[in-house]
């Protein structure tokens, strides 16, 4: 038995692959394009593990996907592959459309052809699980109820619009062709192996380096924070027991303003890695001009997932953020490798034939 994971060297996908192989003997075919946020260092402890097969490639490469499906005959495909940074989507939306929309279309078509050819029992058991975001629902005011699965889509950034389009494609391939799909929409993830362009790892690393801790606007943008390994357990549960064609929202029940998140990180660093020169890390906070179209609040109602599949998160924000800070303090080599030009050059040399 085998599963195929796309985007399995990224933050959430990489955590999922590690978590899956810790829980199951089932092999993983791990496909990743290795863009700037894809990092083989995340998968380093799997070196020599014959249950993990890494393939450098793009979900939009129909021939490659067809060959992988024919060769490994997976019982499920889990799609994490996506461009996912809002700021980058504002400055360069084309890549987001290409990967998140066109790439998802090509992957769906390859999977549909493979699924059509499966024998009866295998065809019935097969699943395509698409991992998406709460940002497709738009923004909430402070008093609005959290997003549930029936909220209409109102994306406000090129990133969220591209993910909304991919969700619609997945839904359409189920209703039109019968492809057995599942979709999850998650809140903001955090935890180990997070590429340091996102808020939490950026704050940790800038704080340690003595740099400013930039906060957009007034810092009162509210997000629901989900520890990444809780997200992995939710995906496993949906893959195992989710109803075909359904969407499941995955949240941490941890709504926090960005400024509170930064203050919490600073307090933990004050305790675990106090400044040699004295002073507090929060003194490095600076407020910068808000980004265009910045959504004010996201919040996830994850009761459907708990009610129907018995899942709820194990980590509170307080336990999860402490584990996250401790991980970054203990894994500075990973940070240096993922942020250095040397790592990107190595990828180019390692895969120069395919690149």
- Take residue 3 and report the two structure tokens written for it: 């599963």
| Alpha-carbon torsion, ordered 99, 184, 189, 295, to 10 deg | 80
Residue/partner pairs of 173-177 with CB below 8 Å, 24 or more apart: 173/108, 173/112, 174/244, 174/245, 175/245, 177/112
DSSP class of residue 352 equals T
Question: In the 8-state DSSP scheme, what is residue 291?
Answer: P
Selection from 247, 102, 97 nearest residue 175 by Cα: 247
Backbone dihedral angles phi then psi of residue 302, each to the nearest 5 degrees: -100, 20
The 10 Å Cβ neighbour count of residue 282 is: 16
C-alpha closest to that of 164 among 177, 147, 176, 178: 147
Active site residues: 134-135, 159
* DSSP secondary structure letter of residue 56: E
Question: DSSP assignment of 188-224, as one string?
Answer: EEESTT--TTSHHHHHHHHHHTT--EEEETTS--EEE
* Nearest of 133, 257, 115 to residue 187 by alpha carbon: 133
Q: What are phi and psi of 180, to 5 degrees?
A: -80, 95
Q: Is residue 336 a contact partner of residue 28, using CB atoms and an 8 Å limit?
A: no
């Amino acid at each position: 038995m085998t599963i195929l994971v796309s985007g399995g060297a990224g933050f959430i996908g990489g955590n999922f692959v590690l978590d899956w192989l810790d829980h199951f003997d089932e092999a993983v075919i791990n496909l990743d394009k290795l863009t700037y946020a894809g990092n083989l260092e995340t998968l380093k402890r799997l070196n020599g593990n014959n249950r993990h097969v890494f393939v450098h490639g793009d979900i939009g490469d129909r021939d490659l996907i067809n060959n992988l499906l024919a060769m490994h005959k997976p019982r499920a495909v889990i799609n994490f592959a996506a461009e996912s940074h809002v700021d980058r989507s504002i400055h360069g939306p084309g890549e987001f459309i290409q990967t998140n929309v066109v790439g998802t279309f090509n992957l769906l078509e390859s999977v549909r052809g493979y699924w059509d050819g499966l024998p009866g029992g295998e065809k019935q058991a097969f699943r395509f699980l698409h991992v998406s975001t709460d940002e497709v629902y738009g923004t909430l005011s402070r008093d609005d109820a959290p997003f549930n699965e029936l909220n209409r889509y109102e994306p406000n950034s090129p990133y969220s619009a591209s993910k909304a389009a991919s969700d619609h494609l997945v839904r359409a391939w189920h209703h039109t062709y019968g492809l057995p799909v599942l979709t999850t929409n998650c809140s903001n993830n955090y935890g180990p192996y997070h590429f340091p362009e996102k808020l939490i790892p950026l704050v940790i690393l800038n704080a340690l380096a003595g740099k400013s801790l930039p906060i957009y606007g007034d810092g009162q943008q509210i997000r629901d924070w989900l520890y990444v390994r809780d997200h992995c357990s939710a995906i496993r549960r949906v893959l195992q027991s989710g109803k075909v064609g359904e969407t499941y929202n995955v949240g941490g029940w941890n709504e926090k303003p960005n400024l509170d998140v930064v203050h919490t990180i600073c307090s933990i660093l004050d305790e675990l890695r106090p400044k040699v020169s004295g002073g507090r890390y929060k003194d490095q906070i600076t407020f910068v001009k808000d980004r265009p179209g910045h959504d004010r609040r996201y919040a996830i109602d994850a009761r459907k997932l708990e009610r129907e599949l018995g899942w709820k998160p194990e980590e509170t924000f307080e336990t999860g953020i402490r584990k996250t800070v401790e991980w970054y303090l203990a894994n500075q080599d990973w940070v240096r490798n993922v942020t250095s030009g040397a790592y990107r050059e190595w990828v180019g040399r390692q895969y120069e034939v395919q690149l």
